[in-house]
Structures are given as structure tokens and as C-alpha cells.
């Protein structure tokens, strides 16, 4: 299926095609919002409220003990977010496939996305390490003991942790780089301004949603969110980002578990 012609805005196809493929060449740019704005305001307020509450909890009690239960609660929370985002796009008459981007079938396309995800992750780690070093010099980034306490300590906890990481990789990319990126990309006048509105807004929300990481951590995660947004735009798909996201969270948990076991921190 080919799309041969676009409007002067470069945002919607002239050729009539079926389903999400009609927008594939210009993903994620879109003229109209993908959900009602009241729904977006509700979702943003909900995210910020939960982020503030988890930040207060991490400072007051920490995250030690009950890891498996906490991981399962995290999985349920992630799918609740996905359901809320789906509710919004359903009201906007936008199919889920539209948020996921181009469909690339076949094992070669999956392998290519995996390769892109690994290269992206390595490059992002270098840039984020540099940013973290600067923030530490500015005394804005400190080691959060609550984050270390989240590390899995047994086989059951590790399996549950990996399930949580896989869920977070899928859901958070769907919500932040799917829903929020495309919703805020409807703002602005030019194609470029629309895209940057989406990238900036979705990245800031991604950072704010991790309140338990502290101010410095939220700044780093905001930058990471921007990198994920650019990856999604370049690939015109969320798949590589989902892979990199799940891989990053999984590896972080494994590394923290090893560090905690060796009592390095």
C-alpha cells in the first residue's frame, strides 16, 4: 500500500487508504487532537497526583519489603494507565494501531528494530551519564536510597520485576510517546512546531511522573523521554522504543540487585 500524495501541511494523506497506514508516512504529526482535551487534563492531573504521593511515600517510608506485591501493584498501575489512554483515544475515534505507528512485519524488521533499540540505548546512556555528572556537580542529583530498595532480591522477585519492566516498556511508550506525543503534536502552527510541542510536553510529563526519583532524577528522565520521542519519530513506530525501555528497566534492576547483594551501596 503506497501513499503517493500529501496536503501542503504535510500532516494528512490525500490518497484514501485503510486504517493506520493512512498516516504512516507522517507519524506522529496530526492536525486534530486524538482525544478530548478534558481527558488529557484529567490524565495529566492523575499522573502528577500519583507521582507526588509516591514521592512522599519514598521519603517517609522507603520501598523496602514486600517487593513482589509492589511489583504486581506496579503492573496493575501500568495497565490502568494504558486503559485510561485507550479510553481517551476511543472517544477520539482513533484506533490503537494509530498510536503504535508503522507496522513492520517479519523477523527481519523485528531484528532491525531490536538493533536500533540497542544502539539507541548505548548512545542514550552516554549522554545521560554526562547529564547526570553535570547535575551532581550542581548538587541537583543525589542517590535515592528508595530506588535501590526497589531492587529484586530473590528468584520470584526477579521474575516479577522483569514482568513489570516488560509491562512498563510497552505501556509507558504507548502512553507518553503514543498518546501524549501525538495529542500535544496537534498544537502549534507549523509542522515542526507541532512536533516539538509533542516532544517537549510528553517528555516533561514523563519526567514528572517519576517523582520518587527526586528533582535531579526527574530532569534526567525528562531528557531520556525526549530521546525516546525522537527515536519514535525517526522510526515512525513505538516498537524500538518499547524494546529499549524494557531492556533499560530490566538491566537497571539486575544491576541494582547485584550492587545491593555485594553491599557496594
Q: Specify if 27 maps to a domain.
A: no
Q: Specify if 197 maps to a domain.
A: yes
Q: Specify if 143 maps to a domain.
A: yes
Q: Specify if 106 maps to a domain.
A: yes
Q: Which are the contacts of 224, defined by CB distance < 8 A and separation ≥ 6?
A: 124, 128, 206
Q: Specify if 19 maps to a domain.
A: no
Q: pTM score, two decimals? A: 0.84
pLDDT value, residue 28: 63
Q: Specify if 167 maps to a domain.
A: yes
Q: Specify if 65 maps to a domain.
A: yes
Q: Specify if 2 maps to a domain.
A: no
- The mean pLDDT values, 10 residues at a time, for the chain of 265 residues are 35 39 54 91 96 83 76 95 96 88 83 95 93 87 70 90 96 96 88 88 96 88 96 93 96 86 68
pLDDT value, residue 10: 38
pLDDT value, residue 62: 64
State how many domains the chain has.
1
Give the structural domain span for 124.
35-262
Amino acid at each position: 500500500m503506497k501513499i503517493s500524495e500529501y496536503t501542503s501541511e504535510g500532516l494528512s494523506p490525500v490518497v484514501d487508504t485503510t486504517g493506520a497506514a493512512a498516516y504512516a508516512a507522517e507519524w506522529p504529526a496530526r492536525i486534530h487532537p486524538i482525544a478530548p482535551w478534558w481527558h488529557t487534563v484529567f490524565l495529566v492531573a492523575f499522573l502528577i497526583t500519583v507521582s507526588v504521593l509516591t514521592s512522599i511515600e519514598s521519603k517517609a517510608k522507603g520501598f523496602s519489603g514486600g517487593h513482589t506485591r509492589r511489583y504486581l501493584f506496579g503492573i496493575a498501575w501500568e495497565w490502568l494507565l494504558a486503559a485510561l489512554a485507550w479510553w481517551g483515544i476511543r472517544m477520539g475515534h482513533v484506533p490503537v494501531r494509530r498510536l503504535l505507528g508503522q507496522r513492520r512485519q517479519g523477523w527481519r524488521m523485528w531484528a532491525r528494530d531490536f538493533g536500533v533499540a540497542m544502539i539507541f540505548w548505548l548512545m542514550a546512556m552516554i549522554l545521560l551519564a554526562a547529564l547526570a555528572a553535570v547535575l551532581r556537580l550542581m548538587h541537583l542529583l543525589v542517590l535515592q536510597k528508595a530506588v535501590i530498595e526497589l531492587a529484586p532480591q530473590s528468584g520470584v522477585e526477579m521474575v516479577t520485576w522483569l514482568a513489570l519492566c516488560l509491562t512498563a516498556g510497552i505501556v509507558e511508550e504507548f502512553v507518553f510517546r503514543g498518546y501524549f506525543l501525538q495529542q500535544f503534536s496537534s498544537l502549534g502552527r507549523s509542522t515542526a512546531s507541532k512536533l516539538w510541542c509533542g516532544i517537549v510536553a510528553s517528555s516533561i510529563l514523563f519526567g514528572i511522573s517519576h517523582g520518587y526519583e527526586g528533582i535531579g532524577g526527574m530532569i534526567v528522565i525528562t531528557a531520556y523521554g525526549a530521546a525516546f520521542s525522537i527515536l519514535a519519530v525517526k522510526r515512525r513506530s513505538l516498537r524500538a522504543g518499547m524494546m529499549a525501555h524494557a531492556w533499560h528497566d530490566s538491566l537497571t534492576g539486575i544491576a541494582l540487585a547485584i550492587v545491593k547483594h555485594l553491599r557496594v551501596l
